[in-house]
Amino acid sequence: MNKVKTSSEKSSRTMSLLSQLEKINVDSVLGEADNARYVTSKILHLVQSQEKTRKEMTAKGSTGIEVILSTLENTKDHQTILNILNILIEVVSVGGGRRASVLVTKGGTQILLQLLLTASKDSPPNEELMVLLHTLLAKIGPKDKKIGMKARINGALNISLNLVKQNLQNHRLILPCLQVLRVYSTNSVNAVSLGKNGVVELMFKIIGPFSKKNTSLMKVALDTLAALLKSKTNARRAVDRGYVEVLLTIYIDWHRHDSRHRYMLIRKGVLQCIKSVTTIKLGRKAFIDANGMKILYNTSQECLAVRTLDPLVNTSSLIMRKCFPKNRLPLPTIKSAFHFQLPVIPASGPVAQLYNLPPDVDDVVDESDDNDDAETESEIEIENDDDKDQIFKNDDIETDINKLKPRQELGRSIEDLKMYEHFFPELSENFQECDLVSKEPKPFVPDANLGGPIVVPTAGEEHSAEVNQSTKGVILKESNPLLTEEYNRRPAFLELPKKDSIKDSSSSHQQNDQRNLLPSCQCLSQEIVEGLDKITLQNSAKNDPYCDTGCVIKKESKTSLTTLACNKPCEHVSPCGNSLFEGSSVQLGKLCCTGVDSEEEDSKSSSSGEQIVLEVSDVSPVHDCDLYIEMVKTTKSIPEYSEVAYPDYFGHIPPPYKEPILERPYGVQRTKIAQDIERLIHQSDIIDRVVYDLDNLSCSVSEEADVLKFNSKFESGNLRKVIQIRKNEYDLILNSDINSNHYHQWFYFEVSGMKTGIGYRFNIINCEKSNSQFNYGMQPLMYSVQEALNSRPCWTRVGTDICYYKNHFSRSSIAAGGQKGKSYYTITFTVTFQHKDDVCYFAYHYPYTYSTLKMHLQKLESMHNPQQIYFRQDILCETLAGNSCPLVTITAMPESSYYEHICQFRNRPYIFLSARVHPGETNASWVMKGTLEYLMSNNPSAQCLRESYIFKIIPMLNPDGVINGNHRCSLSGEDLNRQWQNPNPDLHPTIYHAKGLLQYLAAIKRLPLVYCDYHGHSRKKNVFMYGCSIKETMWHTNVNAVSSDLMEDPGYRALPKILSQTAPAFCMGSCSFVVEKSKESTARVVVWREIGVQRSYTMESTLCGCDQGKYKGLQIGTRELEEMGAKFCVGLLRLKRMASPLEFSLPSNLLDIENELIESSCKVTSPTTYVLDEDEPRFLEEVDYSAESNDDQDIELADNAGDYEVPNQEDGLSDSDSTRVLLS
């Protein structure tokens, strides 16, 4: 028993000493100073020798720190004070910031500052006491956010400053004093006050050229100076005294002498000072005048070989980017190159501002003077009482419960809504004259227009290209004998007209009455293909009875056709390759040189016809080249396009291989920025030649010039201007949306004249978003005509060294919605072409034109079985440009004309779908294509789905925007998905009438079960949904009292949950059901709130790829997008089964809403700028490759100056796994 007691006494020795100390404080007996000195010395000994003691003193519930601080506050004994300061230094030196925080919370800062004030009155002050006090303040200061204000109120600021001034040679004393000054300077008011007292000049007495002596002091002085120079007042003072040039001289000296890189922290400290001073315009000018760009560029290039020097390279790069003179975007105006006069000018908003601009205003120049606004001498101090790490707060979330509650408002009279009655004939059709199937469908006789069965898209089947083609080819051939004939009479991928419209040069094969055109590789010789420049398709060809579609091959050069069996020239060759025939005509872009050999057509055996079928079997059954041309002829564009892009004409087959998300090369962004900086340093190396310009159509490049040729004058094309920068580098400028001056993201253009084995760099220099998935593995798309002619007609992901970063082109406040000093961003990628003189197309995402939609709908209509499928295509309205907006109705025909079957038919619930309100989100159209093809397929579940619902579908809400290559707006210059609250019938006809259809359904009490608007998302991965929930919105505003009383049917979560279980690309974790103020006029919110549809969604599909599920690590393709469209239908079928009368409640595991909400941390942010007014919250990737800075985090270095600071990580984050940072 005694043994245990002894052990216990031993372990509580510290507590016993602290008790004695507390008793001494309470008794305050004279002569107790010796006892206090003795006890504190004993505690100091224990603290220095035992970590256990340090833990005990700061453990939860311990009063040790309070006793120590109380003694420090009350004692007058000098040695006791020194003992206690040493104790506290030992306690906080180990254990991270937690122990320092304990000291702060116990009031330690105030006590220490008071002690400092008292000690400073001694003359001279006690050096040992001052060293200890400042050392301790430097350690706990970073944990006390109000230390700057406390020091200023207590009058402690100048005590430390005067100590430094009076003891410049006493390095032991001024080192901790400088550390404390650095802490004080984080407060802007303190920094200004210290600056007025000469602290900046003082720092320049301490720092200097290379020396191995006192490097710790040099490092601390530099860090203090960098903190002080963040104050604009101090920065101006430094510039006025010529210190920018001094800093550059010091940096060069240390760079040259530190050959073994032992003093990197000092070198970086100098750079941090330069970085701080160049925050102001005067600093940037002084930096440029001192030749700083060249100095930092050269020194950083010398550091590239050593990976550990990356912090220096990154900081240098940041400074150079900041000081790079802002350039004007090389355009006459930021408004679109195309003009469309609106029938009505909005009273307010961006479009009104655009129309009200005086004609002589230069809307390109940045009038903001580098955002260096007038600064007052007394800078405003922001005392932030809030914790910076506070829980995420979003001011955009709607908090008004009355605004959140759905309120069914028709908004239009019943009489007015009757105009939509004719769009719903299915509600009154009696089918008495129709030949309906009874229980089983009658034998279906294929119509001559039938193109074969519709293959339901699925990305799950992964076969080799050969197996896949042959299998499907046989299926197609067996299922419809007409297919063989159709494919035999058309070249495989250069889809020429169905009848012989080309009089072959070979006299032995002019059989115009037969449909026997062979693939292009067999019927076109190399010389002919080389001579082909344009193919013009006219409405009629009266001189040739066999030219039903009027295909005319026009030849640019008079190449001799000697390789053919007969030298008879082609009758339709024209020497002028670029001219257009009169009348309505459509022109295909340049055809590349195929390099294929001509063969005798007679030598092809009968098996070759089968081979053709196999070759084209993967072509979508709804793609018809000839029909596409016919559709193009009725499409109305503002520039009056007369050319057709080959990818849209040939069609697209998903490649047979996977396309993984691109791994980002280390330091790629830094390298690209360095190359941009070279433009300023080595201006003589820049070609600066305009090679394409929509604003100057007379701009031409010599045919002999070794330069790429560009074109975007075709449907959905977007490329405004191209400038050759270096031999193989081009700056590209995108066109604004019509009647707008921004929204640059969608691109689609043609490139030709390339060579092989050369890396061509393309820079799209006027992007506006602050970050992009191009920084996270997304690649642009390329389509090679040469590959298409070689039976590989597909868009493929291409490009290396891809990144997205802020550039030096300034954005005027007119372009940035009034915000000043904004810059544009660059997408850069490098491509090496496979074929010489190929014709290639580049696009932001898989193009899907308006003409393609019309072709697909017409093919679907011609291919469906009218005995089984009710398919109806109406024109909802005409757009501003006069294009029709299709409205599609799909359901199953009634089993018979009996009353019961007709009733069942009419009473099916509605599903209302829409897509492509934003033209640049082409993936939405591919998802819609998957939906439409699934609904029209022979799949038994598709038939079940048709029997369950009536589908009303508007597959393209913004035809004009799509046709004219807009990214976000219609011809009105407005985002149509922000017009649903109050659409204008003259400016937003498609939205006005789409809403009218829904209002009509609400008026006749036939609310859709589901409304879903298909979108694309540029900044997140996977496919996901946004829905609407009052309760979840209130939860995210932390209004628990209100939300706990709310009763809400959780059924809105059912469909997304089903899709997360059935669709591989769908991610439930990315879904959000929060209603935001900025989204109150979107389709999703308006249909939910005003129309009363509970299941109202936006379905967002990634433009990049997936980071979960089956497709994790892969970029998304059309196969996966179409599969998503089909899976959406399957989800609706499951929803129907779950909601059937047999199952009154949804499965609990499907709608475990409470748990999911507790577990999830759905962060939704409102748009950050005027031009980012989108349905896109900021994405949170695993690594933040900031487009604002470099992409490489500083590697942590051994700190020669001690452990007083945490390594600075403000220069971006690294690609490498070792420095990967998880964002919470």
98: CB partners within 8 A, 6+ apart: 58
Write the pLDDT tens digit of every residue in 66-117. 888 888 888 888 898 999 899 888 888 876 677 888 888 888 889 999 999 9
- 1202 pLDDT more than 80: no
Question: Looking at residue 591, what DSSP letter applies?
Answer: P
Where residue 1012 falls among pLDDT bands split at 50, 70, 90?
very high
Where residue 821 falls among pLDDT bands split at 50, 70, 90?
confident
882: CB partners within 8 A, 6+ apart: 636
Give dist(CA 459, CA 1182) in Å, integer.
27
Cβ count within 10 A of residue 860:
23
Half-sphere exposure of 150 (CA within 13 A, CB side): 19
Where residue 620 falls among pLDDT bands split at 50, 70, 90?
low
Write the pLDDT tens digit of every residue in 1119-1167. 999 999 999 999 999 998 887 654 444 455 554 544 444 344 334 433 3
Give dist(CA 760, CA 772) in Å, integer.
22
704 given a catalytic annotation? no
pLDDT of residue 367: 58
Cβ count within 10 A of residue 513:
8
**Type of residue numbered 126:** N
Closest CA to 811 of 324, 368, 349: 368
Write the pLDDT tens digit of every residue in 349-388. 788 888 888 877 777 876 554 444 433 333 433 333 333 3
pLDDT of residue 1101: 98
pLDDT of residue 674: 92
pLDDT of residue 379: 41
382: CB partners within 8 A, 6+ apart: 188
Among 148-152, 865-869, 926-930, name the one with the lowest average pLDDT: 148-152
Q: How far apart, in Å, are the Cα atoms of 331 and each of 340, 423, 807?
A: 19, 46, 16
Where residue 677 falls among pLDDT bands split at 50, 70, 90?
very high
More confident of the two residues 1011 and 69: 1011
Among 155-159, 574-578, 851-855, 1110-1114, name the one with the lowest average pLDDT: 574-578
Average pLDDT, integer, range 222-235: 94
Main-chain phi, psi angles of 259, to 5 degrees: -70, -25
Give dist(CA 317, CA 320) in Å, integer.
5
Average pLDDT, integer, range 964-984: 96
Main-chain phi, psi angles of 947, to 5 degrees: -75, -20
Half-sphere exposure of 340 (CA within 13 A, CB side): 28
More confident of the two residues 900 and 59: 900
More confident of the two residues 1109 and 480: 1109
pLDDT of residue 351: 86
- 243 pLDDT more than 90: yes
pLDDT of residue 398: 65
Name the token pair of 1184.
């933040």
Write the pLDDT tens digit of every residue in 1148-1158. 555 454 444 43
Average pLDDT, integer, range 936-953: 95
pLDDT of residue 93: 83
- 1067 pLDDT more than 90: yes
* 530 neighbors 503 (Cβ within 8 angstroms): no
Helix/strand/coil for 686 = coil
Among 739-748, 913-922, 1094-1103, 1172-1181, name the one with the lowest average pLDDT: 1172-1181
pLDDT of residue 783: 98
Name the token pair of 703.
């045919």
Total H helices, total E strands in the chain: 45, 22
* 1046 neighbors 1131 (Cβ within 8 angstroms): no
Write the pLDDT tens digit of every residue in 894-932. 998 898 999 999 999 999 999 999 999 999 999 999 999
pLDDT of residue 987: 95
What is the residue-averaged pLDDT of the chain? 78
More confident of the two residues 261 and 551: 261
Name the token pair of 1101.
């599909």
Give dist(CA 1173, CA 1163) in Å, integer.
17
Where residue 399 falls among pLDDT bands split at 50, 70, 90?
low
pLDDT of residue 505: 37
Query: Burial letters for 946-981: b for 16+ Cβ neighbours within 10 Å, e otherwise?
Result: bbbbbbbbbbbbbbbbbbbbbbbbbbbbbbbbbbbe
- 1088 pLDDT more than 50: yes
- 837 pLDDT more than 90: yes
pLDDT of residue 553: 31
| Active-site residue (options: 90, 1100, 1120, 1123) | 1100
Write the pLDDT tens digit of every residue in 455-503. 444 444 444 333 333 333 333 333 333 333 333 333 333 333 333 333 3
Write the pLDDT tens digit of every residue in 822-831. 889 999 999 9
Where residue 287 falls among pLDDT bands split at 50, 70, 90?
very high
Among 71-85, 338-352, 1169-1183, name the one with the lowest average pLDDT: 1169-1183
Q: How far apart, in Å, are the Cα atoms of 431 and each of 188, 287, 437, 619?
A: 80, 82, 11, 36
Task: For CA atoms 375, 378, 384, 389, give the dihedral sign.
Answer: positive
Question: Looking at residue 570, what DSSP letter applies?
Answer: P
Cβ count within 10 A of residue 181:
31
- 1211 pLDDT more than 80: no
pLDDT of residue 1042: 52
Give dist(CA 225, CA 63) in Å, integer.
39
- Residue 124 preceded by cis peptide, ω within 30: yes
* 169 neighbors 210 (Cβ within 8 angstroms): no
Burial class (CB in 10 A: 0-12, 13-18, 19+), 7: exposed
Maximum average pLDDT range among 672-681, 783-792, 1035-1044? 783-792
Give dist(CA 409, CA 397) in Å, integer.
23
Give pTM, 2 decimals. Answer: 0.77
Closest CA to 224 of 289, 272, 260, 166: 272
pLDDT of residue 359: 77
* 1054 neighbors 1133 (Cβ within 8 angstroms): no
Where residue 804 falls among pLDDT bands split at 50, 70, 90?
very high
Where residue 1039 falls among pLDDT bands split at 50, 70, 90?
low
- 1203 pLDDT more than 60: no
Average pLDDT, integer, range 170-198: 91
Average pLDDT, integer, range 924-944: 96
Where residue 1044 falls among pLDDT bands split at 50, 70, 90?
low
Give dist(CA 788, CA 883) in Å, integer.
30
